[in-house]
Amino acid sequence: MRTTDMRVLRVALLGCGVVGSQVYRLLTEQSADLCARAGATLEVVGVAVRDPARPRLVQVDAGLFTTAAEALVTRPDVDIVIELIGGIEPARTLLLAALGAGKSVVTANKELLAADRAELHRAARQHGGDLYYEAAVAGAIPLLRPLRESLAGDEVRRVLGIVNGTTNFVLDQMDSSGADFGEALARAKQLGYAEADPTADIEGHDAAAKAAILASIAFHTEVTTRDVYAEGISAITPADIENARSLGSVVKLLAICERCNGGISARVHPAMIPRVHPLAAVRDAYNAVFVEAEAAGRLMFYGAGAGGQPTASAVLGDIVAVARNRLAGLRGPDASTYAELPLVPIGDALTRYYVQLDVVDRPGVLAPVADAFAQQGVSIKAVRQEGRGEDANLVIITHTAREAALAKTVANLSAMPAVRAVDSVLRVEGEEGE
């Protein structure tokens, strides 16, 4: 191994929690290899935290800790700033200060990127630094770089993925053990998958931030979290899981970014997918993303979407990349937003639906129910009815329809005297016929 290169790049680490501690460990334990790969020694010169006295997951030189994060990121000798604090502030102010001072930045902060990616890229461009964030979406899985670089010559049509491990674990538990939502979430907390406050995961906000970043890169258009429709999994019942099973399907929380009517539809919601679909086989807290591109066809990316070590792997990859760029006097690819595609509102999104109704079981009920779909231009693909005494359980699967047309259909069905209740409405993804 050649370690004679005496060049040194100085690194400031912001945050030493789940991910930051593993990044520090890898930077120190693998320093010789990293030096050989990056072309310079990567020397950690400071670690900003809230409470330097707090016990750490790994051994850190106590003299490196500081609470003066702003002073650390603007230190003249610092070359690379790694942000692993999370959240909007103070991360945003610190990264703008670092980029303004010409530093290169590596971050895993999807929340900040999904809100302010454009401004951060502008600051990097103006002051000659890099901004890399592979770990922000799907943890260890190399995904943003393939989308940004390997597929730069192709036209991405669709990105469909499981990008939140906590919700995938919960839904997988409900599917495999029959647990209800509360029991499955409690198990996720016990095993350390879900945070004490799991709202951002459960309500789809975490996946929506990741969808915004994916859509921005895939479609060369600035997309923020505000542009992404998000619906979580807290309303999913064991009955939904069982109904999906009876149709040969499974329920997953999906992030879907696709070209639609000349624009982009970006949304996060639970959906039924056929058990034969590759995403249906993604178990536990794993992530997987399915990319469909014009020339490349279908690509699948799979792996650990969270956890200290897996996420640190992606962060280290970025650190080596920005180090190489800095030594070569180059910058990595900038944000590409030239396409400026319009965002399609959720009402215009196109998908298929599963609708389950509790109806009065008497002659002439099916015809007005079918008519309620026809009036909104929603075509029915399949109907299944099961009598239960005076009532019947009616399941209707539609062909592809506009979300707004389906919503109006459901509102009209709810108002029909023969419909006792609309028990469940779930979107159905995966190609027709799969």
- Determine, following the binding rule CB under 6 A, whether residue 17 of this chain makes contact with ligand NDP: yes
Q: Which does residue 17 touch among ligand NDP, ligand HSE, none (CB within 5 to 8 A, set by kind)?
A: ligand NDP
- Determine, following the binding rule CB under 6 A, whether residue 161 of this chain makes contact with ligand HSE: no
- CA dist 373 and 397 (Å) reads 11
Residue 408 a catalytic site member: no
| Residue of 3, 32, 50, 189 interacting with ligand NDP (CB under 6 A) | 50
* Shortest Cβ 256–ligand NDP spacing (Å): 20
Choose one: 32-40, 79-87, 173-181, 290-298; the region binding ligand NDP (CB under 6 A): 79-87
| Residue of 164, 173, 216, 221 interacting with ligand HSE (CB under 6 A) | 164
Choose one: 71-79, 163-171, 270-278, 315-323; the region binding ligand HSE (CB under 6 A): 163-171
- Determine, following the binding rule CB under 6 A, whether residue 90 of this chain makes contact with ligand NDP: yes
Helix axis angle for 205-219 and 110-127, nearest 10°, is: 40
* Shortest Cβ 80–ligand NDP spacing (Å): 16
Q: How many CB atoms are closer than 10 A to CB 99?
A: 26
- Determine, following the binding rule CB under 6 A, whether residue 204 of this chain makes contact with ligand HSE: no
* Shortest Cβ 87–ligand NDP spacing (Å): 7
Tokens 């069982």 -> residue: 242
Which segments of 5-146 does DSSP mark as H helices, in order?
Answer: 18-29, 31-38, 69-73, 91-100, 110-127, 144-145
Output the CA torsion sign for 172, 173, 178, 183.
negative
Choose one: 13-21, 119-127, 168-176, 325-333; the region binding ligand NDP (CB under 6 A): 13-21
Q: Which does residue 146 touch among ligand HSE, ligand NDP, none (CB within 5 to 8 A, set by kind)?
A: none
Distance of CA 226 to the CA centre of its chain: 14
The structure tokens listed for 394 are 């009616």
What is the contact mask toward ligand HSE in residues 295 to 334, using x (rule: CB under 6 A)?
----------xx----------------------------
Choose one: 28-36, 82-90, 122-130, 417-425; the region binding ligand NDP (CB under 6 A): 82-90
Total residues at the site for ligand NDP (CB under 6 A)?
25
What is the contact mask toward ligand NDP in residues 98 to 137, using x (rule: CB under 6 A)?
----------xxx------------------------x--
Are the C-beta atoms of 354 and 243 separated by less than 8 Å? yes
- Determine, following the binding rule CB under 6 A, whether residue 232 of this chain makes contact with ligand HSE: no
The structure tokens listed for 180 are 């209800």
- CA dist 209 and 230 (Å) reads 10
| Residue of 12, 19, 124, 392 interacting with ligand NDP (CB under 6 A) | 19
- CA dist 261 and 349 (Å) reads 9
Show which residues are catalytic: 210
Which positions touch ligand HSE (CB under 6 A)? Answer: 139, 164-166, 201, 206, 305-306
